[in-house]
């Protein structure tokens, strides 16, 4: 049996004129999971009229995508909806910092606007059964370089 993993996250909202948003607030937000997603590459290739396929001449790592699964809670459907809007606004910024702490190890990354979707039962039941909770998945493109420190 393993111990539970400690996971917290916060997103800077400087472009919105607001302080950092903590994504681990009791009764409001709960980070369910966080993982590195895919990697994309910028490739330079050559191909010729009489050559089968192509040949790679250069490859540079482009973006990395992290996947964050977040539960949003509230006392009513509208409160949950408003809190989801706060998350959407924070992750829709053109550029922002995301800090994630896993078991005491903090990493900070420079991020781009995230793709967001509602997942789980909420998508089938249209919010009727889970009116006090919504689960959203964020796919967050980020710079391959990780940083340390405050956001």
DSSP string for residues in 48-87: -TTSSS-EEEEEEEEEEEEEEEEEEE-SSHHHHHHHHHHH
pLDDT at 15: 86
pLDDT at 123: 54
pLDDT confidence band for 121 (50 / 70 / 90): low
Position 93 in a domain = yes
* CATH code: domain of residue 64: 2.40.30.200
Domain count, the chain: 1
Mean pLDDT, the chain, as a whole number?
87
Q: Are 72 and 88 in contact (CB under 8 A)?
A: no
Token representation of residue 104: 């005491």
Q: Which residues make beta-bridge pairs with 133?
A: 73
Position 132 in a domain = yes
Q: What is the pTM of this model?
A: 0.80
Residue 60 CA to residue 40 CA, distance in Å, equals 9
Position 59 in a domain = yes
pLDDT at 1: 46
User: Which domain does 91 fall in, by range?
Assistant: 7-42+55-147
Token representation of residue 44: 């330079």
pLDDT at 16 over 60: yes
Residue 149, classed as helix, strand or coil, is coil
Position 48 in a domain = no
Position 92 in a domain = yes
Position 135 in a domain = yes
Residue range 108-113: mean pLDDT, rounded: 94
Cβ–Cβ contacts within 10 Å for residue 9, how many?
Answer: 20
Stronger pLDDT, 124 or 149, i.e. the higher one: 149
pLDDT at 126: 56
């Amino acid at each position: 049996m393993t111990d539970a993993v400690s996971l917290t996250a916060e997103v800077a909202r400087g472009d919105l004129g607001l302080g950092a948003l903590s994504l681990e607030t009791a009764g409001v937000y709960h980070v369910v999971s966080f993982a590195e997603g895919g990697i994309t590459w910028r490739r330079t290739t050559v191909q010729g009229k009489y050559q089968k396929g192509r040949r790679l001449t250069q490859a540079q790592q482009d973006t990395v995508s992290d996947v964050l699964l977040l539960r949003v809670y509230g006392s009513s459907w509208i409160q949950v909806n408003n809190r989801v809007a706060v998350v959407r606004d924070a992750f829709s910024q053109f550029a922002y910092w995301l800090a994630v702490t896993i078991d005491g190890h903090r990493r900070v990354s420079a991020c781009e606007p995230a793709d967001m979707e509602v997942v789980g039962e909420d998508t089938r039941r249209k919010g009727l059964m889970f009116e006090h909770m919504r689960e959203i998945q964020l796919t967050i493109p980020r710079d391959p370089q990780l940083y340390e420190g405050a956001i």
